[in-house]
Structure 1
């Protein structure tokens, strides 16, 4: 089983980032919005998927946020692999997690973001 990278498909900013990964980063992982995958089969809860991107390796080990991004970059190899190793180092992760959370909280303000990006998924579902 190959790895899977899960992101929020209802967020335009997240989708733009996922499309960049698909075009520019040659990972072997399947890149899917959490809304269109069986989260339970991946061992990920809806709450986890709403709070951060998720990397699920081929053995079911789940890594979230910048740890998941680091694993994706290492999987891609080439010039991305050293960036993945760097991002995965504890001192870098100590900085990466607060930055990731800041971006996640403000993703509706990021390029490509929309007001819908700032709403919790349950609230978005109620509006449909």
Structure 2
């Protein structure tokens, strides 16, 4: 029996939470969705530091982060989303997606739904 993938996000970030709700409603997330603050990160094979830095997709013992986690979410959602997900795994789109993800992640506190807590390191929240 295959375990369902797990989507791990920052539950303290309003922008991240809104993004996950959007994906659940409009894309269809075929995974167990959990904020990292209540997840057993050790069992998932990751750390709080990584989970605080980027969204994670955990599947079959592998952890994908950032833009590649989003690509895996899209692939798992099926058509028509899977085509975009597969495209995001290939250069040069992979490189562009990574850069865009890092830009958004660094500025999530400035985006709609973002809060000042999104800008602080986890140790200072």
CA distances 1:23-58 after superposition (whole Å, capped 9, x unpaired) = 11223211111001100010011111011111001x
TM-score by length of 1: 0.92
CA distance in 1, matches of 2:54, 2:70: 10
Length, aligned pairs only: 123
Q: Which structure dedicates a bigger proportion of its chain to helix?
A: 1
Aligned to 2:18: 16
Unaligned runs of 5+ in 1: none
CA distance in 1, matches of 2:97, 2:82: 17
CA distance in 1, matches of 2:101, 2:29: 21
Aligned to 2:107: 106
CA distance in 2, matches of 1:20, 1:26: 9
TM-score by length of 2: 0.94
Unaligned runs of 5+ in 2: none
**1:1-128 matched pairs, under 5 angstroms:** 1-57=3-59, 59-124=60-125
**Aligned-CA RMSD value:** 0.9
